[in-house]
Structure 1
Amino acid sequence: MARKEVALLIHDGVQALDVAGPLDVFAEANGFLPDDQGYDLVLLASDRRLIRASNGMPLAAHLTFGDAARRFDTVLVAGGPALPEAAEDIDMSAWLQRWGVVAGLYGSICTGAFILGHAGILDGRTVTTHWQAAAQLAAMFPAARVEYDRIFARDGALITSAGVTAGIDLALELVAEDHGPAVALACAKRLLVVTQRQGGQSQFSPLLQRRTGDSTPLGKVQDHVMAHIGESFPVERLAEIAGTSTRSIARLFVKELGLTPHDFVENVRLDQARNFLEATDLALKTVAFDCGFAGPEQMRAVFQRRLGLSPQRYRESFRAASRPSSTCSVSSDDGQRHPSHTS
């Protein structure tokens, strides 16, 4: 296999990890490959001036779009925290429409998917992005099929990744495709990461939906469920708390929160269980009981279905450095564990 030229598009406010993570994977791969089979890495931008990343780091492109009027083997667009709200970069869209889509492989890291969307590249394609921006991506580009939980998504020559460090997962996958899993594993060991992380990106995101007003029927239900999560909550009980009919409460949940009453209760149980697993040493049986699951097996089934990993694996991955034995309250919209920003 001949050397491959990888072009990574950068812009003002780019997430530095979206750039450094994938590039470091390809650079590490070069250390395990013959000189004629490695990767040549090129940063592209509108011009050669210094670009300031979202963390303040200055970056400079190797080539401008005008200099790079040719086909590359791989083209990736890095994300940035401001991209979901940013206007289209006309120069970048034009370059992607002419040269990006003719690459052997093209795609985005994190919110770089918004740049692809503005360029019309996502229409009719299955894609992903950072969990915090997935709903907005789907709303802005309704012709795209947005997968909310994927670490990365592949649709023919188009490949997109979830947030920030998921760009490393994407690059490791490409190295494995090009040179086999052994080389990808060697790169992962050098970078102290896993070649394929378990579960999707839902394990990193808060599951609880936006709160409604406390005095509304739905607000009363939300408050009661969060305060008494160990209880049973059939839809009849939720309707009684809200003072409405069962049909009305189901309609309210779908209209206001976009999910069924059953899904809301399961989200609360799951988020409470995650809090316990992260911050306490409680036995899995106790966590399951306190969170309203029928038992540890049901809790395990929900974790596997919703997060793609077991409660024990979740605890091993996210256990806090300090683990008090006291219980944790369920996070509300004001107290959820949010990343500092989206890239």
Structure 2
Amino acid sequence: MTIVTMVVFDGVQALDVSGPLDVFAEANRFLMPSDRYRLQTVSLDGAAVTCSNGLVLQAGQTWQDGVPVSDLLLVAGGPPVPGRLLPQDRQAWLRQACQQAHRFGAICNGIFLLGHAGLLAGRTVTTHWNDAAALAQLCPHARVEADRIYVEDGNLYSSAGVTAGIDLALYLLRRDHGPEVARNVAKRLVVVMQRAGGQSQFSPWLDAMADPASPIAEVQRQILAQLRQPWPVAELARLANMSLRSFTRSFSRETGMAPAQFIQRARIEAARNLLESGDQPIKGIAYECGFGDAGRMRQAFVRALGVSPQRYREAFRQHDPACRLA
């Protein structure tokens, strides 16, 4: 029996908790009783914690209850974590629990709690892409790899944002009980066995929108509504009723990128959505999103995401249960 402990708290992200635990719970369907996982939740607050989505979760134990030593201890993440500093007694408990565990780690930004507990010096870790810089600042003696889905460093395991906890759990399951059990669980949960590329391919590309009242925002709306158009910069400046020089400067100042870069990223984002949601031919998607042809779209995907459109699509399909991305 393998004891898996998930550490929770008020404001925890529900999927950080349920995603990895469901992997191990589903695995028990395929394991002999002696090999199964025993799952437990331990709260750093009261037994009942309210998740960030409003769900109330009743933890089996609190940190004060004399928790058994874990084979695997994972700390979940959540919106309040990066700025939250645990009281000294809870930090001491977490540090001791991790040191006693055979393996330990964190889901998403739960890694910050391990950092505050002094457990990351000299270690390599990852976290949600949006929190990577803050983690590097908090733990200057740790190596933060911002574009990894999960990282293994000795007995320390960390994952990227939210659903990446499922990827990490599947990896751990594969190590414990082999690829066949992991494939069966991935099939049950309708997820891929291993994602291609880093977490940047799943982060939002269009976080560079200008203020809604700005002429630049209206230009952006026109671009997003008509991605097939070639959109020369002179035409965009005309739409904004600005000189070419003034428009280029204003666009870069308000969005943090050049107009051409925004257009390319907008096309990639639109193509990603179409690749994920249906079976439309890649050639048709390339035309619809303004790339012109499949070859140009492939070049854009490889440059931006590190994978081709076909490989990206495969990461979201389960037609072959035994299929696993390399």
TM-score under structure 2 normalisation?
Answer: 0.74
Quote the residue 2:110 is aligned against. Answer: 112
Q: Percent identity?
A: 47
Letter in 1 for 2:200: S
Q: CA deviation at 1:289?
A: 4.9
Q: Distance in 1 between matches of 2:100 and 2:265?
A: 42
Q: Distance in 2 between matches of 1:295 and 1:200?
A: 25
Quote the residue 2:43 is aligned against. Answer: 45
- The structure-2 alpha-carbon separation of the partners of 1:149 and 1:260, relative to structure 1 and needing over 3 Å to count, comes to farther
Q: Distance in 2 between matches of 1:164 and 1:50?
A: 21
Contact 1:74 1:106 survives alignment (8 Å): yes
- The structure-2 alpha-carbon separation of the partners of 1:89 and 1:112, relative to structure 1 and needing over 3 Å to count, comes to farther
Range with greater deviation from structure 2 (271-280 or 120-129): 271-280
Q: Does 1:208 align with 2:206?
A: yes
- The structure-2 alpha-carbon separation of the partners of 1:24 and 1:220, relative to structure 1 and needing over 3 Å to count, comes to closer
Q: Distance in 1 between matches of 2:16 and 2:266?
A: 32
Q: CA deviation at 1:263?
A: 5.5
- Describe the SS at the equivalent of 1:58: strand
Contact 2:48 2:56 survives alignment (8 Å): no
From 72, 78, 81, give the equivalent of 1:80: 78
Letter in 2 for 1:11: F
Range with greater deviation from structure 2 (154-163 or 205-214): 205-214
Query: Counterparts of 1:123-138 in structure 2 under 5 Å?
Result: 123-138=121-136
Name stretches of at least 5 consecutive residues in structure 1 with no aligned partner: 320-343
- Describe the SS at the equivalent of 1:84: coil
Contact 2:196 2:315 survives alignment (8 Å): no
Contact 1:214 1:223 survives alignment (8 Å): no
Q: CA deviation at 1:219?
A: 8.2
- Describe the SS at the equivalent of 2:188: helix
Contact 1:6 1:41 survives alignment (8 Å): yes
Q: CA deviation at 1:85?
A: 3.6
Contact 1:221 1:241 survives alignment (8 Å): no
Matched residue count? 310
Q: CA deviation at 1:118?
A: 2.0
Contact 2:4 2:37 survives alignment (8 Å): yes
Q: Distance in 1 between matches of 2:294 and 2:103?
A: 43
Q: Deviations over 1:7-65 (max 9, x none)?
A: 21111122222222222222222332233222222222236532222232231233524
Q: Distance in 2 between matches of 1:191 and 1:228?
A: 37
Quote the residue 2:245 is aligned against. Answer: 243
TM-score under structure 1 normalisation?
Answer: 0.70
Q: Distance in 2 between matches of 1:193 and 1:286?
A: 26
Q: Distance in 1 between matches of 2:276 and 2:34?
A: 46
Q: Distance in 1 between matches of 2:223 and 2:186?
A: 42
- The structure-2 alpha-carbon separation of the partners of 1:99 and 1:217, relative to structure 1 and needing over 3 Å to count, comes to same
Q: CA RMSD in A?
A: 4.0
Contact 2:20 2:169 survives alignment (8 Å): yes
Quote the residue 1:96 is aligned against. Answer: 94
Quote the residue 2:55 is aligned against. Answer: 56
Quote the residue 2:323 is aligned against. Answer: none
- The structure-2 alpha-carbon separation of the partners of 1:225 and 1:196, relative to structure 1 and needing over 3 Å to count, comes to same
Q: CA deviation at 1:4?
A: 2.3
- Describe the SS at the equivalent of 2:30: coil
Quote the residue 1:14 is aligned against. Answer: 12
Q: Distance in 1 between matches of 2:301 and 2:120?
A: 31
Q: CA deviation at 1:316?
A: 7.2
- Describe the SS at the equivalent of 1:111: helix
- Describe the SS at the equivalent of 2:104: strand
Q: CA deviation at 1:207?
A: 1.0
- The structure-2 alpha-carbon separation of the partners of 1:76 and 1:224, relative to structure 1 and needing over 3 Å to count, comes to same
Letter in 2 for 1:81: P
- Describe the SS at the equivalent of 1:170: helix
Quote the residue 1:338 is aligned against. Answer: none
Letter in 2 for 1:243: R
- Describe the SS at the equivalent of 1:122: coil
Contact 1:153 1:159 survives alignment (8 Å): yes
Letter in 2 for 1:115: L
- Describe the SS at the equivalent of 1:67: coil
Q: Distance in 1 between matches of 2:109 and 2:243?
A: 40
Range with greater deviation from structure 2 (37-46 or 105-114): 37-46
Q: Distance in 2 between matches of 1:47 and 1:166?
A: 25
Q: CA deviation at 1:79?
A: 1.3
- Describe the SS at the equivalent of 1:129: coil
Name stretches of at least 5 consecutive residues in structure 2 with no aligned partner: 318-326
Q: CA deviation at 1:119?
A: 2.0
Q: CA deviation at 1:172?
A: 1.3
Quote the residue 2:179 is aligned against. Answer: 181
Q: CA deviation at 1:87?
A: 3.5
Quote the residue 1:337 is aligned against. Answer: none
